[in-house]
């Protein structure tokens, strides 16, 4: 069974605060992803990683940063939150090789006031 966890599920925070969104998976997947989604819009890839110490930016420009120190953990950090960062953030993972389907976490709904 696919197990990928995200915390917190909901976060309301003031402008200028530093936040870290956590994502962990127990499937041993090498590939991990962060997507941003606004209501009624498509998922936009903001970061991805193909393994430990490997991170890349996606097509959507983002002021966030990520790290991949352990296979199972892929946190996303915003150094200074702004109202424009209000969105849903979805973490996903997938296997190497021909299986392309991604397993998604439940998401973090972020509101910056």
Q: Which residues bind another protein (CB under 8 A)?
A: 4, 6, 33, 35, 40-45, 48, 50, 56, 58-59, 90-92, 100-107
Residue (44 or 73) nearer to another protein, CB: 44
Cα 107 to Cα 90: distance, rounded to the nearest angstrom: 4
Give the nearest distance from C-beta 82 to another protein in angstroms.
24
Smallest separation, CB 57 to another protein (Å): 10
Q: Tell me how far apart the alpha carbons of residues 2 and 101 are, in angstroms, rounded to a whole number.
A: 11
Query: What Cα–Cα distance (Å) separates residue 51 from each residue in 28, 29, 30, 55, 99?
Result: 10, 9, 5, 8, 16
17 vs 103, beta carbon nearer another protein = 103
**Which is nearer to another protein, 61 or 100 (by Cβ)?**
100
Comparing CB distances to another protein, the nearer of 50 and 111 is: 50
- Please answer whether residues 42 and 58 qualify as being in contact, where contact means their C-beta atoms are separated by less than 8 angstroms: no
Tokens 């996606």 belong to 58
Minimum distance, C-beta of residue 103 to another protein, in the bound complex (Å): 7
């Amino acid at each position: 069974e696919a197990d990928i966890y995200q915390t917190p599920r909901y976060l309301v925070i003031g402008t200028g605060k530093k936040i870290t969104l956590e994502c962990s998976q127990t499937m041993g997947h090498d590939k991990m992803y962060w997507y941003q989604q606004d209501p009624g819009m498509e998922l936009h890839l903001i970061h991805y990683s193909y393994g430990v110490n490997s991170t890349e930016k996606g097509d959507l420009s983002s002021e966030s940063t990520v790290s991949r120190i352990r296979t199972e953990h892929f946190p996303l950090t915003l150094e200074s939150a702004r109202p424009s960062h209000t969105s849903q953030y979805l973490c996903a993972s997938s296997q190497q090789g021909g299986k392309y389907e991604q397993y998604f976490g439940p998401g973090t709904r972020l509101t910056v006031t």
